[in-house]
Structure 1
């Protein structure tokens, strides 16, 4: 798509140069200008040439409009493919695409993972309906998205599970992220009439042989969600 943009831009530049040159030849050359004014054949030839230039400009403009439309459709399609329709953040497909980059490879030392469980989602669905449950998912997803900026990748891993994957991890980044999530969750829960967000999480980072691959790292963080005592990274 980028190469096509460049090609069309080059075509437009060449067209404009040719147009300016042709106008200069007619207007700045007195003899040619006189011929165009007195000879019907020359006028006809100039008219045909300028008509061709005008049509060429129209065709190029149409190409740019169509290309812009295609790019917009592509972005929308890409968003649909990679974004969860309820949560509004990366979906399972996007999570798997990131995980695939590390499959069949030793886990880098700087990889960390946090799995979240929106623990009261089933209760909200049962009491108030799935529409309210979807609102809860979207609110929690917004919190994860806002708090993950410049820190990690976040996505909905299906159901009430959410994944935060740190490609350049440290204990400080993990704690900063968790603190941000807690602060924004507390602010959300303090709003009048808001259904509370209740979550648990599990952390896997620097676990050595316990998590030698990316899939085992994620599985380990998922297992730790329900442990009563979570690791402290302060």
Structure 2
């Protein structure tokens, strides 16, 4: 078992490794060694795949979380790994901190994570602590050479000073907020990295969940 086999297994579920780091004894993780790999959807292929799942079709609450746990737990068994999730708390796992540590995600001008491939639409469905030294890599922060359109794209200027969640949600509940509700957050869509990879139906699903 190793990186290549895991990549193939993830591809069956339209998922991919989007960062990782080597685990040290001071990390206070279930495994004292190996690597922690962050797992994300492969977009735009992911949504058509997930929307045919039993979890999505049964109309019960939290379909994406239930799907993620089913897939993640099986991957953990198959690869001798430990699966960790960004839901199910409190306490919650420090996915934001882990993402920064990978060297492939950074704080954007909005404060949201920006990823070298996923842009502002990066999301992590699980982390896998695998028992091998993964061939993880780092990349350059895309914001350094960017005009930063995300900082001014919000129709209600919710990122002018930190993040004004109340203004954001009030806008989404209003008639003028339907563009964000059906296509996704305008600030996230403004990021040129990975632009257009997230399908409108997937964005609408996440916006409904956010509200």
TM-score band, normalised by the shorter chain? under 0.3
Largest Rg, 1 or 2: 1
Q: TM-score, normalised by structure 2?
A: 0.24
Going by fraction, where is helix more abundant, 1 or 2?
Answer: 1
Q: TM-score, normalised by structure 1?
A: 0.22
